[in-house]
Amino acid sequence: MAPRSVHPLPPGSTIGIMGGGQLGRMTALAAARLGYRCHIFTPEADSPGIQVAAAATVAGYEDRAALKSFAEAVDVVTFEFENVPADSAEFLAQHALVRPGPQCLAIAQDRLLEKEFINKTAPTTPYRRVTSAEDLALAADEIGRPAVLKTSRMGYDGKGQVLIAPDCDYAAAWTEMGAEIGILEAFVDLDCEISVITARSPHGGWATYPAVENRHVNHILDTTMAPARLPDGLADQAVAIAHDLAEALDLVGLLAVEMFVTRDQRILVNEMAPRPHNSGHWTMDACATSQFEQLVRAVCGLPLGSVDCHHDAVMKNLIGDAVHGWPDLLADPGARLHLYGKSEARPGRKMGHVNRLYPKGKLPNG
């Protein structure tokens, strides 16, 4: 039986992190500042997280022997991305304290389950489950075109997504999507895209960062502006939605909720991730407590940190070759540079980010 601690884990405890990417790296750095050790589990030997962690297990996510040894070496397990196999998360929960729980991952990694879950709490865009090109054509007739076809599992940063235009070749679109089960989502008459990150403790306490505006290029987050310039009522509604979804999940840790704001000023939830999120990187320099420290506090059962923001901020991702501008960024006194330790800059690969701070209420236009 896995341990079920309600007591804070003291400094010196070891946090197991499933995943070795940049989110794991920044979580490990935040944990070290509070006196915790981190043990990374990842299939990749030179991952960003391993470079800064106290220990690492390099193995496949379905390697039960490696998972058991990992669980026995740590005091709590958390996740830096949600696509760890649900069976592996369930297995870990038999041997260790796992936060957030496996049910959170199972919902977040399946777009159909996720949409069904969200719709019990908040609205989403209309959608249909599709399993063939014929299904796709019928679904498009029902919800209209243009629409977006997405794989039901494992898609991120625009991967596994196909635009369904009025003159679509459905067979070609189905093949391009490349999965046995998909979800067709109606297009949104979009004003802007926002997200909210909320933290929830084992004791039910919670803390939520303000809504931020996200701008994408080629389906990859390019820029986050914090806070989002929304009417107070909409901003409060976005925060309430994130809080309600975290409560419904019985989540311990962080939940990032991505939302659409329509031109008629409605909020529709797009998707959610039970982990730190790219759109929360601005908190590292503009808030009393970063999203990464907040995750550490939550999974260790510590008091949650203040989400007070001492500055407004703009976060800019460094994608692919953009990272080669690091000398100029280091020479810029207004730039706060964060690099991820990745050896190769490839198109579409997130290599780092830069935060710029502004007095509250003085975010630049554009």
Beta pairing class for 190-200 and 182-186: unpaired
User: Which CATH class name applies to 190-358?
Assistant: alpha beta
Q: Does CATH place domain 126-186 in 3.40.640.10?
A: no
Identity at 16, one-letter amino acid code: G
pLDDT single digits (tens) 76-100? 999 998 889 999 999 999 999 999 9
pLDDT single digits (tens) 156-204? 555 678 999 988 889 999 999 888 899 999 999 999 999 999 999 998 8
- Per the listing, tokens 């990150």 go with 197
Per-residue pLDDT band for 219 (boundaries 50, 70, 90) equals confident
CA 110 to chain centre: 14
Residue 253, CA distances (Å) to 17, 25, 197, 198, 307 in order: 12, 17, 10, 8, 15
pLDDT attached to residue 83: 85
Asked if pLDDT for residue 60 goes beyond 90, the answer is: yes
For range 252-262, the mean pLDDT? 98
User: Which CATH class name applies to 14-98?
Assistant: alpha beta
Determine contact, residues 197/208, Cβ cutoff 8 Å: yes
Per-residue pLDDT band for 5 (boundaries 50, 70, 90) equals low
Per-residue pLDDT band for 336 (boundaries 50, 70, 90) equals very high
| Residue ranges per structural domain of the chain | 14-98, 126-186, 190-358
pLDDT single digits (tens) 143-160? 999 999 999 886 555 567
Q: Is 324 exposed, middle or buried (0-12, 13-18, 19+ CB in 10 A)?
A: exposed
pLDDT attached to residue 2: 47
Per-residue pLDDT band for 247 (boundaries 50, 70, 90) equals very high
pLDDT attached to residue 168: 86
Q: Give the tokens for residue 120.
A: 């019990």
Asked if pLDDT for residue 242 goes beyond 70, the answer is: yes
For range 49-75, the mean pLDDT? 98
What are the φ/ψ torsions at residue 298 (nearest 5 degrees)?
-65, -50
- Give start and end residues of each alpha helix (H) in 265-320: 283-286, 291-299
pLDDT single digits (tens) 301-320? 999 999 999 999 999 999 99
pLDDT single digits (tens) 271-294? 999 999 999 999 999 999 999 999
Using DSSP, state whether 264 is helix, strand or coil: coil
For range 107-126, the mean pLDDT? 95
Which residue, among 244, 243, 214, 207, has the nearest Cα to 228 in the 3D structure? 214
Asked if pLDDT for residue 72 goes beyond 80, the answer is: yes
Which residue, among 95, 99, 104, 69, has the nearest Cα to 9 in the 3D structure? 99
| CA distance from start to end of the chain | 54
What average pLDDT is seen over the chain? 94
Q: What percent of the chain has pLDDT over 70?
A: 96
Asked if pLDDT for residue 341 goes beyond 50, the answer is: yes
Asked if pLDDT for residue 4 goes beyond 60, the answer is: no
Beta pairing class for 147-151 and 182-186: antiparallel
Asked if pLDDT for residue 235 goes beyond 50, the answer is: yes
Which residue, among 358, 348, 323, has the nearest Cα to 338 in the 3D structure? 323
